[in-house]
Amino acid sequence: MQLEFVTVDVFTERRFGGNPLAVVTDARSLASGQMQSIAAEFNLAETTFVLPPRDPAHTAEVRIFTPRAELPFAGHPNIGTAFVLAARGEACDRAVREPLVFEEKAGLVRFELIRQANAVAGASFAAPQPLARGEDVAREIIAEACSLAVADIATDNHSPCIASCGVPLVLTELRTRAALAKARPRAEAFSQRLKADRAVGVLLYVREEAGDVDLQARMFAPLYGVPEDPATGSGNLALAGLLASLRPEPELALRLRISQGVDMGRPSLLELSAEKKNGRVTQMRIGGRCVGVMRGTLEV
């Protein structure tokens, strides 16, 4: 049996930048174990599998796998899959109509398409779950897991903390760009002190004082088979919500441009927003552009 796949680079406008994604465009014949094996074979941060929706009013059911585990939600797989299906105009023998809505384990994900010269160029979506801030994590644990000094970790705005809008990650602010550049994941420290059922990984970020972006970020998730992720939509969505929640204004429309993947040679640009009303974060949104790279068939 042969199945079609497409690969795209997400959060970029040029090939071989951004975060690569494989999309299996019709996975009706696959069992969960086969999906996991295919994701391991691609060995990208994530691979998505498109299925018919349970509710015919929706576009598709989408399942997301890292090389080692299934995720309930993730950012760049959603944007890349929306880009692929909108450009194809069909999903599992059903016409694709706007607005696109994906059924995922974390909930429904609704999209707006980004167009350029009448062609689909990318997509944006709102977080499927509200911001949830969990426990703080000791600086010593983050320092050990990411090969940093404790002094590299900033706590002026917040301590390292687990936050989620669908996938829990430890959000950690660093003091300098140099500290961000020298960070390296230590899988043994993750397995001992940041187990996979506690958080998917660690998102490190630093504020950018000059240039056309607001933050620089890196994300490590070695226990999920992702030593470093070039662009982490779910984590940066939660970060936008966290930063908005920490601001003193009761009403706020925060907009952020976040650069990620620079230190691994795959520069990505994520555009985010967070709305705050009556002192509460009510919506987080992320968008980005995509470019197609490869098409092929899988032998299953």
- Using the predicted structure, report yes or no on whether residue 57 has a pLDDT greater than 80: yes
Closest to 213 (Cα-Cα) out of 288, 107, 265, 283 = 288
Q: How far is CA 258 from the centre of its chain?
A: 12
> How much is the pLDDT for 118?
87
Reported as a single tens digit per residue, the pLDDT across 271-285 is: 999 999 999 999 999
- Helix residue ranges, H only, the chain: 32-42, 75-88, 139-145, 177-182, 187-193, 233-246
The CA distance from 262 to 121, in Å, is: 22
CATH 1.25.40.10 fits 2-123+289-299, yes or no: no
Torsion over CA: 138, 141, 143, 146 (sign): negative
The CA distance from 114 to 137, in Å, is: 37
Structure tokens at 100: 């696109």
Mean pLDDT of 30-52: 98
Every domain of the chain and the residues it spans: 2-123+289-299, 132-287
Closest to 106 (Cα-Cα) out of 142, 70, 144 = 70
pTM for the model: 0.94
CATH of 132-287, one of 3.40.50.620, 3.40.50.300, 3.10.310.10, 3.40.50.2300: 3.10.310.10
46 catalytic residue (yes or no): yes
The CA distance from 92 to 50, in Å, is: 7
What band does 211 get if pLDDT is binned at 50, 70 and 90? confident
Reported as a single tens digit per residue, the pLDDT across 232-260 is: 999 999 999 999 999 999 999 999 999 99
Domains 2-123+289-299 and 132-287 in one fold: yes
Q: Which residue out of 4, 13, 41, 46 is catalytically annotated? A: 46
Higher-pLDDT residue of 132, 210: 132
Q: How many helices (H) and strands (E) does the chain have?
A: 6, 19
